[in-house]
């Protein structure tokens, strides 16, 4: 399982980082090329000025008109240098001082541009060979561009900071957009919970169209599951009703047999009657199946009490619970559990049954159900047998077996506890603790 928000944010961050890194690289390369082209153009202009300042002398040598030279060539280590090779004569700028330079061998009319690191300086060099007054002249002009490169790096650092801020702003903007876009989805858990609790359909008018098929599929599966469970329960109830007639005929046949032949058949027939009564009881107690729905006590418990009062009109059932309490357990399971507990109590009570349901205030939140009756109850030894681990309840105490066995299976399915004690009313008290599901 992964977060879609985190996935989109991570991919946007990777995409922006790669795009911005490529942009910074192209920006740096572009600025570097523009800088070198600008400096090379200026060097070529200086070379033209030097050529025009060259004058031949009567003794066959050449000289430069110093007043026509920029002052940067007169300052030592100014970063602007030149050297001119005319035959055996070499003219150097004063700024070169003691730097040793070697001029390239170029053909007439050929030009060359190159870079070289000299100490702390980075030279961009321009060379060319021309013919003036019939004399071949090789001219070499250079400029230190290290200060320009430092300016480029400062600009690149500034651009990197701007890019980083831009990425952060875009990520924040995307976070707001995602939060706004996913806001309808945040209501989906509540809508699905309402579907489970009350069978209320999910409103698809205020949800994105992309998840509408998912909502429709959830509702379709819930309806299909409910129909299947209901058909299964109806089939079991119909089967139990249909089996009563042949079982009555079998009972009549057993009654016609001799007593020694009747014992084994009567035992098997009694087991079949227990099974049939259990299934009929389930169909009567649970009613309409709603699988997955939580138990809303204020809606689901009163109809169950009414069913029990109709089955046992001479019994008085007092119940106590918080009308706002919703048990986060399957409605069918809880109604079957409560129905069997009440049915067992009504069978053995003289007149009064008490039902209490509450939410415990312990650190580990749980729900407690207590059913007490004023019947004869069971002895201490029978209580020990009932609560002994591994003993099947339908094989332990006569009359208290089948319903409580079903209760035990339901409670264990929710990792709960089922216990039996003496009731203050005089009969049996059954306590159920169901932990809060995670």
Other CB atoms closer than 10 Å to residue 127's CB: what's the count?
Answer: 22
State pTM to two decimals.
0.49
Q: Give me the phi and psi of 363, to 5 degrees please.
A: -60, -40
Contact between residue 427 and residue 374 where contact means Cβ atoms under 8 Å apart: yes
Residues 328-356: b if buried by 16+ CB within 10 A, e if exposed: bbbbbbbbbbbbbbbbbbbebbeebbbbe
CA–CA separation, 87 vs 98, rounded Å? Answer: 21
Measuring CA to CA, which residue among 64, 50, 55 is closest to residue 135? 55
CA–CA separation, 25 vs 52, rounded Å? Answer: 41
Q: What is the pLDDT along the chain (438 residues), one digit of tens a residue?
A: 667 778 888 888 899 899 989 998 998 889 888 988 889 998 999 888 888 888 888 888 888 877 777 888 888 888 899 999 988 888 888 888 888 888 888 888 899 999 888 888 898 999 999 998 888 999 999 999 888 888 888 998 999 999 899 989 988 888 888 888 777 776 677 766 666 555 556 666 666 677 777 777 777 777 777 666 666 666 666 666 667 667 777 777 777 777 766 666 676 677 677 667 666 655 555 444 455 567 888 888 888 888 888 888 898 999 898 888 888 887 878 888 888 888 888 888 888 999 999 988 766 678 999 999 988 887 777 777 765 543 444 444 444 455 677 788 788 888 888 888 888 888 889 999 998 876
Between the alpha carbon of residue 340 and those of residues 132, 231, 241, 408, 413, the distances in Å are: 121, 22, 20, 10, 16
* Strands 352-359 vs 316-320: parallel, antiparallel or unpaired: parallel
Q: Give me the phi and psi of 298, to 5 degrees please.
A: -65, -25
DSSP string, 23-48: HHHHHHHHHHHHHHHHHHHHHHHHHH
Q: Which two tokens stand for residue 154?
A: 């400062």
CA–CA separation, 91 vs 101, rounded Å? Answer: 11
């Amino acid at each position: 399982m992964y977060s879609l928000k985190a996935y989109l944010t991570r991919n946007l961050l990777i995409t922006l980082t790669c795009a911005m890194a490529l942009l910074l690289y192209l920006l740096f390369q572009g600025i570097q090329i523009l800088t070198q082209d600008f400096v090379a153009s200026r060097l070529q202009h200086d070379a033209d000025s030097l050529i025009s300042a060259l004058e031949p002398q009567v003794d066959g040598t050449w000289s430069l008109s110093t007043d026509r030279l920029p002052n940067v060539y007169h300052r030592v280590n100014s970063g602007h240098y030149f050297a001119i090779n005319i035959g055996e004569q070499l003219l150097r700028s004063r700024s070169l001082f003691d730097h040793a330079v070697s001029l390239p061998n170029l053909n007439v009319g050929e030009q060359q541009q190159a870079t070289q690191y000299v100490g702390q300086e980075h030279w961009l060099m321009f060379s060319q060979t021309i013919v003036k007054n019939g004399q071949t002249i090789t001219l070499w002009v250079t400029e230190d561009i290290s200060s320009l490169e430092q300016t480029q790096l400062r600009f690149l650092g500034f651009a990197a900071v701007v890019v980083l801020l831009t990425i952060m702003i875009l990520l924040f903007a995307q976070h707001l957009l995602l939060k706004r876009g996913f806001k309808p989805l945040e209501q989906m858990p509540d809508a699905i919970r309402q579907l489970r609790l009350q069978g209320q359909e999910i409103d698809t008018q205020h949800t994105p169209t992309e998840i509408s098929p998912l909502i429709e599929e959830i509702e379709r599966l819930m309806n299909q599951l409910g129909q299947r469970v209901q058909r299964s329960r109806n089939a079991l109830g119909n089967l139990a009703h249909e089996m009563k007639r042949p079982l009555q005929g079998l009972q009549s046949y057993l009654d016609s047999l001799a007593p020694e032949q009747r014992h084994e058949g009567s035992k098997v027939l009694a087991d079949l009657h227990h099974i049939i009564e259990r299934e009929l009881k389930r169909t009567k107690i649970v009613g309409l199946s709603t699988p997955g729905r939580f138990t809303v006590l204020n809606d689901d418990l009163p109809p169950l009490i009414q069913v029990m009062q109709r089955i046992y009109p001479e019994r008085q059932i007092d119940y106590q619970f918080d009308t706002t309490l919703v048990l986060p357990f399957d409605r069918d399971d809880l109604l079957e559990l409560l129905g069997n507990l009440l049915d067992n109590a009504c069978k053995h009570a003289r007149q009064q049954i008490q039902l209490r349901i509450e939410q415990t205030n312990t650190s580990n939140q749980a729900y407690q159900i207590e059913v007490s009756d004023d019947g004869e109850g069971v002895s201490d030894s029978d209580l020990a047998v009932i609560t002994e681990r591994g003993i099947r309840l339908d094989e332990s105490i006569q009359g208290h077996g089948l319903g409580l066995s079903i209760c035990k299976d339901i409670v264990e399915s929710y990792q709960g506890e089922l216990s039996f004690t003496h009731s203050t009313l005089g009969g049996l008290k059954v306590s159920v603790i169901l932990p809060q599901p995670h």
